[in-house]
Amino acid sequence: LRRNAGEPEFHQAAREVFESLGRVIARHPQYTQGSVLERICEPERQIIFRVPWTDDAGRVQINRGFRVEFNSALGPYKGGLRFHPTVTLGTVKFLGFEQIFKNALTGMPIGGGKGGSDFDPKGRSDAEIMRFCQSFMTELYRHIGEHTDVPAGDIGVGGREIGYLFGQYKRITNRYESGVLTGKGIGWGGSLVRTEAAGYGTVFFAEQMLATRGSGFDGARVLVSGSGNVALNAIEKARQLGGVVFACSDSSGVVYDRNGLDLDVLREVKETRRGRLADYAMLRGAASEYRAGGNIWSIAAETRIDVALPCATQNELDGDDAALLIENGVSAVAEGANMPSTPDAVRAFAETTVLFAPGKAANAGGVATSALEMQQNASRDSWSFEHTEDRLSDIMRGIHERCAETADEYGEPGNYVLGANIAGFSRVADAMLALGVI
Ligand code: NDP
């Protein structure tokens, strides 16, 4: 704790993984050799840098940039960049730590890393976003590469930002190195389905869990928190599979639509206008209601909800919210965001029969499709939407199987937290042991 002072989210993520590992270590004592447990908690490299840029009024602004290259036992560091005012080193370390096990679970050759900045993109002009991205990459470029470290998007970093970052990388290095970033646009090295992958994958994982109880999304009543990339695509896939999504949220409030959310209106507001959810309610009229500062999970007390998909940010669903979902008969919760459920919430779900998928398993479709983008870049190929979506669906089925079988093997059928932590850890730890003390 002293060594990583002031990093509560990193402590939370590490504790959650370590709580699952007692059993695997009792069965496989080799994991206590070579200080694997201590080594896995220490990033291989952490880079913190100044990001100076000039705003539209001509003032020089200073932000802090981070890249934590956590573990490369399985492949190049891989993980997104987050631009949000709350980003600290501890946030990036928690996300990077989660990423190690998530990436291992995909079965693909990718290590774990994460990065970002405390830059707040809200309210910034397009030109300001571009200048910030260019300055950020002016330092980051020397640390990344197709075989070294491959960043992608996360909160506040979507296709527009990846474009500006890639443009600056190309300009500085004079190399069209497509494999250095993922989440690129379709016209310049991106992969179809990458934008949709984390949200679609979360729904595919939930579908697999529901199938173990003989049910599915057809007719399911759903809540999805957030209204960014992961949330919108989770809403889209849940609807395609026959579900009805009643509400979503942003950091200012909740939209509850009694007829089910209209995804076209939602996309128009969030993606075309880059507006706020309050605008959705104004466009939709009487059936929909905007609740400023509202709690999305409380809607489960007003109308029957079967599936909850937290897709906004960490610690957004607490013990009280979990109790409310359980009390009102929710049958499955799949985390589209990283660590959205607090430890109290995870414990509450574990004490019931609610199917609960942790983010490192449920949202792994995002990074898995990034690895598919890297494959296409390496072979200078581009796959169709259907082919890539089929690959994503197979990968999510594989991750579900790996988690479920591991949970069975350790005597806790249906415990996806245990299954994900043990299956992810074992793959990384085996590689770390094979590579020696490095
Ligand atoms: P976006 O920036 O596209 O959307 C984030 C959404 O979450 C917005 O609706 C935002 O609302 C809301 N949000 C962010 N911070 C807060 C906060 N502190 N309190 C309440 N709401 C908040 O990000 P993504 O959709 O890409 O990411 C969402 C989650 O999914 C994150 O946990 C991310 O790490 C995870 N993830 C993302 C992947 C990807 O490929 N993009 C892959 C796997 C996981 P507002 O607009 O008001 O800020």
> Using one digit for the tens of pLDDT, what is the confidence trace for 307-358?
999 999 999 999 999 999 999 999 999 999 999 999 999 999 999 999 999 9
Compute the average pLDDT of residues 16-36. 93
In the reported structure, the alpha carbon of residue 310 is separated from the centroid of ligand 1 by a whole-number distance in angstroms of 10
Q: What distance in angstroms lies between residue 364's CA and the mean position of ligand 1's atoms?
A: 15
Closest atom of ligand 1 to 158 CA is 3
In a domain, 91, yes or no: yes
Query: Stretch 268-285: mean pLDDT, rounded?
Result: 92
Task: Write the CB contacts of 57 (distance below 8 Å, at least 6 apart in sequence).
Answer: none
Determine how many CB atoms are found less than 10 A away from the CB of residue 398: 16
pLDDT digits (tens, 9 = 90+) for 209-261: 999 999 999 999 999 999 999 999 999 999 999 999 999 999 999 999 999 99
Structure tokens at 244: 């009805």
Question: What local confidence, expressed as pLDDT, does residue 287 receive?
Answer: 85
Cα of 48 from ligand 1 centre, angstroms: 23
For 407-432, what is the mean pLDDT? 98
Could you tell me if residue 154 is left (phi over 0), alpha (psi between -120 and 50 degrees) or otherwise beta? beta
Mean of the per-residue pLDDT values of the chain = 97
Q: Is residue 437 part of a domain?
A: no
Query: Are 148 and 33 contained in the same domain?
Result: yes
Q: Quote the domain boundaries for residue 112.
A: 8-176
Query: In this structure, is residue 429 part of a structural domain?
Result: no
Alpha-carbon gap, residue 288 to 245, rounded angstroms: 12
Rounded-to-10 torsion of CA 350, 356, 359, 362: 150
Q: Nearest 5 degrees, angle CA 379-CA 382-CA 386?
A: 130
Could you say which of 346, 362, 378 is where a domain stops?
362
E strand map for 332-428: 332-334, 355-357
Q: Is-contact 257 227, C-beta < 8 A? A: no
Say yes or no: 135 and 264 in one domain: no
> How many angstroms separate the CA atoms of 275 and 162, rounded?
20
212 and 165 in a common domain: no
Which residues fall within 8 angstroms of residue 30, CB to CB, at 6 or more apart?
433
Catalytic residue numbers, as ranges: 114
Same domain for 226 and 134: no
260 shares its domain with 348: yes
The verdict on residue 172 lying in a domain is yes
Q: Is residue 227 included in any domain, yes or no?
A: yes
- CATH number for the domain spanning 111: value is 3.40.50.10860
Tell me if 412 is assigned to some domain.
no
- How much is the pLDDT for 61? 98
Nearest Cα to Cα of residue 315 among 344, 287, 355 = 344
Total number of domains in the chain: 2
The arithmetic mean of pLDDT across residues 45-51, rounded, is 98
Whose CA is closest to atom 17 on ligand 1?
A: 251
User: Residue 431 falls within a domain, yes or no?
Assistant: no
Q: Do 219 and 291 share a domain, yes or no?
A: yes
Indicate the pTM of the whole model.
0.97
User: Does a structural domain hold residue 335?
Assistant: yes
Task: Measure 8 CA to ligand 1 centroid, in angstroms.
Answer: 19
pLDDT band at 34 (very low <50, low <70, confident <90, very high): confident
Q: Please give the number of the atom of ligand 1 that sits closest to the Cα of 157.
A: 2
**Do both 129 and 206 map to the same domain?**
no
Residues with CB under 6 A from ligand 1: 80, 153-156, 198, 226-231, 250-252, 311-313, 316, 336-338, 363, 366
Whole-angstrom Cα distance, residue 315 to residue 87? 14
Same domain flag for 166 and 210: no
